[in-house]
Amino acid sequence: MSATKSPLSRLGPADSVVLAACVGLLAGFSLIQPNVAYPPPPNFAEMPVEEKKRQFFAYLSPMISAVNFELAAHRDRAADLRAAHARGERLRWSDRRWLRRLAIRLEVDLDSMGLAEALQTLYRRAGIVPESIALVQAAIESGWGTSRFALEAHNYFGQRCYMSNCGIIPTERREGARFALAEFASPHASVESYMLNLNTHPSYREFRDLRNQRRVAGEPVTGLALIAGLTNYSVRRDEYVDQVASMIRSNNLE
């Protein structure tokens, strides 16, 4: 039996030469290429409660919006390419290069699926995360920007890593556990990583399914509509989801 061909395998010699020259670029590809240099976070710990909440939301909101804008743009391009492929049109080299780069970031294995399936998977994964969910989860996981991990590692969402020396070891980590809290170069990098996590990790497939169902039905993609898909985010499961939903409502985020 012959090996299954990648949907991008039918390239001419000229395409192959150019792709080889771009290998180095692929490794450094970032989903988000911000033009804005975000300021360092203020000292939330010194603020009165209501001021801290207001400043915390105001600080993270532009970063969340920027990542969502890029995700929506990628989703729309994936939809356009899916429609073109369905019409029998051949993808341009620039489209194939973009597709390959996005697939790396969204953890889609192009070599194991057909082009139509790959485009559909990318369309489902390149989706926005409602700002209300992102803001509240950041508030919970970072103690409103005052936790050790937010201050020392720009980790606003409690994201873990499992490689050796990959982050900061929490003092309450149980004996035998091997995870650490991931370190990020900036709060913006933490926001991007968090959104990519929700859009790729198997634990949040229900979140993505709920989002896709609302898209198909033409209904708004809101935090309260998707929050049930995040029970795996915390060991507290339903209690955690209820807390996020309560905070969305109490802070009038939707």
Residue 131 contacts by C-beta under 8 Å, 6 or more apart in sequence? 61, 64, 65, 68, 223, 253
Supply the pLDDT for residue 178. 72
pLDDT digits (tens, 9 = 90+) for 233-251: 999 999 999 999 999 999 9
Q: Which amino acid does the sequence have at 209?
A: D
pLDDT exceeds cutoff 50 at 27: no
Residue 170 and residue 73 share a domain: no
Residue 173 and residue 140 share a domain: yes
Using DSSP, state whether 252 is helix, strand or coil. coil
Residue 60 and residue 140 share a domain: no
Query: How many domains does the chain fold into?
Result: 2
pLDDT band at 176 (very low <50, low <70, confident <90, very high): low
Mean pLDDT score, 4-30: 37
pLDDT exceeds cutoff 80 at 31: no
Radius of gyration of the chain (CA): 20
pLDDT exceeds cutoff 60 at 35: no
In a domain, 170, yes or no: yes
pLDDT band at 187 (very low <50, low <70, confident <90, very high): very high
In a domain, 47, yes or no: yes
In a domain, 32, yes or no: no
Read off φ and ψ for residue 84, nearest 5 degrees. Answer: -65, -40
Sign of the alpha-carbon torsion through 14, 17, 21, 23 = positive
In a domain, 1, yes or no: no
pLDDT exceeds cutoff 60 at 11: no
pTM (two decimals): 0.82
SS (H, E, C) 108-134: CCHHHCCHHHHHHHHHHHCCCCCHHHH
Residue ending a domain, choose from 100, 125, 150: 125
Domain span holding position 206? 131-250
- Average pLDDT of every residue of the chain: 85
In a domain, 179, yes or no: yes
* 113: region left, alpha or beta (phi > 0 left; psi from -120 to 50 alpha): beta
pLDDT exceeds cutoff 90 at 225: yes
Which residues are 161's β-sheet partners?
180
